Amino acid sequence: MDVQTLTFLIVGVTFVLYIGIAIWARAGSTKEFYVAGGHVPPIANGMATAADWMSAASFISMAGLISFMGYDGSVYLMGWTGGYVLLALCLAPYLRKFGKFTVPDFIGDRYYSQTARTVAVVCAIFVSFTYVAGQMRGVGVVFSRFLEVDITLGIVIGMGIVFFYAVLGGMKGITYTQVAQYCVLIFAFMVPAFFLSILMTGSPIPQIGMGSTLADGSGQFLLERLDGLSESLGFNAYTEGKKSTIDMFFITAALMVGTAGLPHVIVRFFTVPKVRDARRSAGWALIFIAALYTTAPAVAVFARVNMIDTINGPDAQGVAAAEAPQWIESWEATGLVSWEDKNEDGRLFYSGDERNEMTIDRDIMVLATPEIARLPAWVIALIAAGGLAAALSTAAGLLLVISTSISHDLLKRNLMPNITEKQELLFARIAAAVAVSVAGYLGINPPGFVAEVVAFAFGLAASSFFPAIIMGIFFKSMNREGAIAGMVTGLLFTATYIVVFKGIFMEPLLPNTAEYWLFGISPEGIGTLGMCINVLVALAIWSVTKPAPAEIQELVESIRYPERMTPEDPSQNPMPH
């Protein structure tokens, strides 16, 4: 069978699986819709967390970023991985012990304020919509290439699938769907990596192959060859970076604390029966995540070498357009690869200087790598299914956050406290339907490439949620006035900086916007500065207002120490409502 037929078959089977799971695990109550009833086993929750966290940015875009950026791309690898460790150690067990459904629920009750809850709802929706734009963009990229449909139509199909299992199953359906999606995406990512490592270095383990000598008998190390190719073609040496140290630090920190503040990841730890299960599921998730994240740099290196070699040919002089590899023609049809014959010699050439004739979207690298390396058709089809699994799993989690933030935190706990559980569930499903539509629009009109858009979401989470959550757990006298002022200030500062320096206002007037960055910090890293501003404002306001009431401080003390733990049932939580 050809690639397209295999892709339709494999993707179709996975879609049927996801829909079948959603029907089997459909939610019948608000607790099942919000937190899967609180009965998900730690291993299953670890898989679901890994799928929820490893979005299209991880599967599709991260290896592409590292492939194009080399050393500089490592900020995404370090930031996202380190952030998950921070989340698992410092937040997950305490939030689970608190026993609420959502992050705004925690913020609202911890800071004894409906205003704080409303601000947290706005932050959750803002962050989630920014993040989900990257996921829908990833869905469109996969559909446009492998199913040969327009990106817009591809996003609409993805919206329909997510709408079905998110609205029908809620967190219960999403959880078990994400378990299946993790299995699909990790298999799809690892199989090509094993193939490439064996073909290029003779080692079956990609992590070892990246540091091994080439299998062509030259005795040259793979990274050494890539450095040589990069420099000869006008690129920076692959293993050396050009970002400033301060920007590297700020981007890494923003990704770390942003991960720890992402509401769709945090809510996963409310789905397990006990606090110790939250810790166990965090550990399992870290193992499942590590499988992909330790492989991604190797895939990036394999992809980069293969891409350069297939475009420029064995003599590094370019290949004739008539003899161009099939993958270039296939991806040209999507608009993500293009060629301009600048010197009119009829030959393609790829470089990092004025000789360059190729425009290649970095989001295609993981998806195109099996084609570039001429791997079997079923591997190419499998990578498409994996990319869709990664994008859809995270999109579903984000849409649920938006839905619950509106139905539970904004309506039930704030504007309409007397609605019944049935009405609340209806509002949750309506909110999810609206959120899917907005997410689709953002996917069709994205503000950047996948990982870049996701990085902005992490920056917004870092500057808004993370300080309020961490101080809510470890600074028991922090009050509502400080938390609210900090969240609003941090979010507004970070969002304004991103909007200004990503082309909406400044770029048409000042093409080189980097000259005007504060302290040389790029928009991807500004969330760290926003977080610092959040903390400083919160502490300043706290110092001139009354500290948190005694009963709040006692509650914070109780959630910080497991031995003082109160009953697991959230209804027995001492927090007043």
pLDDT value for 149: 72
Reduced to 3 states, what is the DSSP secondary structure of residue 150? coil
pLDDT averages per 10-residue partition of the chain, 577 residues: 81 83 70 65 86 76 84 83 78 75 79 84 76 73 72 79 69 79 90 92 91 88 90 86 86 83 73 78 86 90 90 83 85 83 87 86 84 87 84 76 77 79 80 80 65 66 86 90 92 85 56 75 88 95 93 85 47 39
Between CA 51 and CA 288 the distance in angstroms is 9
Give the type of residue at 431: A
| CA 56 centroid distance within chain | 6
DSSP 56-120: HIIIIIIHHHHHHHGGGGHHHHHHHHHHHHHHHHHTHHHHHHHT-SSHHHHHHHHTT-HHHHHHH
Element (H, E) at 339: strand 337-339
Between CA 375 and CA 486 the distance in angstroms is 52
pLDDT value for 335: 78
CB distance 178 to 47 below 8 Å: yes
Between CA 189 and CA 168 the distance in angstroms is 29
Between CA 71 and CA 55 the distance in angstroms is 22
| CA 168 centroid distance within chain | 24
Residues forming beta bridges with residue 337, ordered by sequence position:
360
Among 525, 448, 442, 354, CA closest to 159? 442
pLDDT value for 194: 93
Among 402, 155, 101, CA closest to 267? 101
Between CA 289 and CA 335 the distance in angstroms is 32
pTM, entire model: 0.78
pLDDT value for 477: 92
* All structural domains of the chain: 3-243+275-303+375-444 (1.20.1730.10)
CB distance 39 to 28 below 8 Å: no
pLDDT value for 493: 92
pLDDT value for 542: 95
CB distance 26 to 166 below 8 Å: no
